Amino acid sequence: MDNLNGIVAFVRTAETLSFVAAGRKLGVSASAIGKTIAKLERSLGVRLFHRTTRKVTLTDEGRHFHERCHRALEELRDAQAALSQSAQTPRGRLRVSLPVIGYRFLLPVLPEFEPVRFLVC
């Protein structure tokens, strides 16, 4: 997992086929993207891109790696979205204290909040 930033940079570069465009999307310089990808390539022991002064293209290994990394990043985004959504759902016990006269008004509307458990005292 040390290479997660490198993988994100790689996927963005593979999608745009440009270090400059990937850098813009990620908010870093093209040079930083290039260095990050070079470090990733060294750690993997394989070239992911063919580089010329005019263009960047994926190698066969890069194409296969991109497919898998893209799916993995999508899965991570989905997991993060699901977790964020569940964190916004109220949970726990709600204790309501009210005078006897309040029961007359509160008890009829409680079924509208069916997923919430109330302890009325």
> What digits encode the pLDDT tens for the residues 52-85?
888 999 999 999 999 999 999 999 999 998 888 7
Domain with CATH 1.10.10.10 in the chain: 4-88
Provide the strand spans (E) within 2-106.
Answer: 49-51, 56-58, 94-96
Percent composition of the chain: helix, strand, coil (DSSP 3-state, to 5)? 65, 10, 25
Task: Find the helix or strand (DSSP H, E) in which 66 lies.
Answer: helix 60-88
Tell me which amino acid residue 31 is.
Answer: S
User: What global pTM score does this model have?
Assistant: 0.69
Q: Are 22 and 31 in contact (CB under 8 A)?
A: no
Q: What is the maximum alpha-carbon separation in the chain?
A: 81
What top-level class would CATH report for the domain 4-88?
Answer: mainly alpha
> What digits encode the pLDDT tens for the residues 24-58?
999 999 999 999 999 999 999 999 999 988 899 99
Tell me which amino acid residue 68 is.
Answer: R
Per-residue pLDDT at 115: 67
Query: Which tops the pLDDT comparison, 104 or 34?
Result: 34
